[in-house]
Amino acid sequence: MGLLKGILHFFIPRERTLVYTTFDQTQYFKIKGRLSAAGIPHRSKINGGMKALGQRAQYGGKATVQHDLYVRKEDEHRAAQVIH
pLDDT in tens, 43-62: 999 887 666 556 555 666 66
Would you say residue 8 lies in a domain? Answer: no
**How many domains does the chain fold into?**
1
Q: Answer yes or no: is 1 within a domain.
A: no
Task: Give the model's pLDDT for residue 5.
Answer: 75
The pLDDT value recorded for residue 11 is: 74
Round to whole Å and give the CA distance between 19 and 40: 12
% of the chain at pLDDT higher than 70 = 81
CATH number at residue 66: 3.30.70.1370
* 3 within a domain of the structure (yes/no): no
Report DSSP letters for 10-61, one per residue: HHS-S--EEEEEES-HHHHHHHHHHHHHTT--EEEEEES-HHHHHHHHHTTP
What's the domain range around 70?
A: 14-83
Q: At what angle do helices 25-37 and 76-83 cross, to 10 degrees?
A: 120
With a cut of 50, which residues of the chain have pLDDT below it? none
Output the average pLDDT for the chain: 84
Q: Is 38 within the bounds of a domain?
A: yes
